Structure 1
Amino acid sequence: MNTEYTGSGDPAKSLELLWRRRPQPTRGPKPALTVERIVEAALRIADAEGIAAMSMRRVADELGAGAMTLYRYFPGKAELLDVMLDTVYGELARREVDGDWRARLDEVARENRDVYLRHPWLLQVAVSRPPLGPQLMAKYEWELAAIEGIGLTDLEMDATVALVNGYVHGAVRTAVEARQVIQRSGMTDKEWWLAHVPHLDKISDLEKFPLANRVGTAVGNEYDAPYDSEQAFEYGLARLLDGVSALIEKRSGPER
């Protein structure tokens, strides 16, 4: 799986595009394209075919324009990718939920998960150098606000947000892979499990692997599959929030 990297283009030009401070082309005939139209086309391609299929030429073809036309708006694919990512971050509803910090942080996780599921290509984009656009900043502000005033230092707030986002990234990757294997194999998890169960007793060593057999059988009987991504997400998120809660309680007494 190829990985794309944000923040690999010209910083000044990326920031101009992200904040729409980059002037529109003035030479030649009136521009038929806009930054927004180009980004929308790039997103359509990435959503349908994956990020590897998204190139300047492919986007130009999607728009019925010459490849060189796009370079009047974007210096290259790196800057376009930055704006694509920031645009997708704008899809977060950033809902205000009733309840305490735990309910708010739970919402942060779920909204991020929904964006990943709508745009699986995001899993192939490394954001250690994030595009510092308006939507990313609004996302970060909303995520931090979920845990503001609960007893964490600024560095711990940042680390907690990163922890939640990292957990969601890993959980969604597994869910997307599970969905893709069904599409590619033409076999549901239940069908796969039922095809294997009759043979397990013949080949597995119950005495050598007693725990694996007991627990694996319990999981298979419960989910008709070796794994359930929905249940795993819910369980993991709850335990992550338990950990944050334990830190707060240890430092300041009862949970606030």
Structure 2
Amino acid sequence: MTVWDRPEPPSRPAPLDRERIVAAAIALADEGGLEAVSLRKVAARLDAGPMRLYGYISTKQELFDLMVDEVHAEILPEEQPGDWREALRSHAHRTRMATLRHHWFADLLGGRPALGPNALAVTEAQLAALDGLADLDTVVRAAETISSYVIGAIRREIAGLRAERATGLSEHDWQRAFGPHVSRMLATGRFPMLAKFVHDGTDTDAATSFATGLEWVLDAVAAKLSRPSP
């Protein structure tokens, strides 16, 4: 039985419910990452005994599942756009913005499907946007392709932000600090394409890079959807 199927115990002697528990856990994760979350720390934030939480949540994994589903509520669109590209574009950007608010969410993206009601509603909206545009297998592969890009791009961006926080160096500061080493390596002539990229490439911010890559993926999916079935 999943945590969503299991009823909550009576809220006594002090008010407590899964909603408050999850909110406290998300606050801890926002402050210090998933490693900052434990049932003991959540209980302390709620001024409750740790054993009381086990009436609502059996394991730390269940707590993570509930946290993930709560963030999916931020991703779920208020209304479904009529155009499939706009629907999936909106989903991608909403996922990115939710992850920028909750960096720990990147660590729990991908893998086995999330099964909470909000996560299932998000998946339903993605598939519904593509419904009728191709056979079911093609629709599922299209959704998976877009999702793979979104997850990969978001994880890369969050990794960069974590590196900045860990080192105290912004991207500009890091480039300046390691610039002399890169220049020496490029001067050897062993990396002509890298040299061309460094000297002539266009530097774009994370939001622009994400949006551009997403449009390329949507173009590729559109081409596949418009191709007649064999």
TM-score per shorter chain, which class? Answer: 0.7 to 0.9
Paired with 1:125 and 1:193, the residues of 2 have a C-alpha distance of: 30
5 Å-filtered alignment, 1:163-182, equals 163-182=145-164
1:86 maps to: 69
State the shift of 1:213 in Å: 0.7
1:6 maps to: none
Residue segments in structure 1 that go unaligned for 5+ positions in a row: 1-11
Q: Which amino acid aligns with 2:33?
A: G
Paired with 1:78 and 1:198, the residues of 2 have a C-alpha distance of: 45
User: Which of 34, 45, 53 is the equivalent residue of 1:62?
Assistant: 45
Q: Does structure 2 retain, via aligned residues, the 8 Å contact 1:97–1:107?
A: no
**Normalised TM-score (structure 1):** 0.79
Distance 1:142 1:169, change over 3 A: same
Local SS of the residue matching 1:251: coil
Count of residue pairs brought into register by the alignment: 229
Q: Percent identity?
A: 33
5 Å-filtered alignment, 1:1-256, equals 12-17=1-6, 22-25=7-10, 29-96=12-79, 100-125=83-108, 128-150=111-133, 152-197=134-179, 200-205=182-187, 207-219=189-201, 222-223=202-203, 228-251=205-228
State the shift of 1:209 in Å: 2.4
Q: Does structure 1 retain, via aligned residues, the 8 Å contact 2:75–2:91?
A: no
Distance 1:58 1:218, change over 3 A: same
State the shift of 1:206 in Å: 5.3
Q: Which amino acid aligns with 1:138?
A: A
Q: Does structure 1 retain, via aligned residues, the 8 Å contact 2:106–2:158?
A: no
Distance 1:146 1:239, change over 3 A: same
- The CA RMSD measured in Å over matched residues stands at 2.4
Distance 1:154 1:57, change over 3 A: same
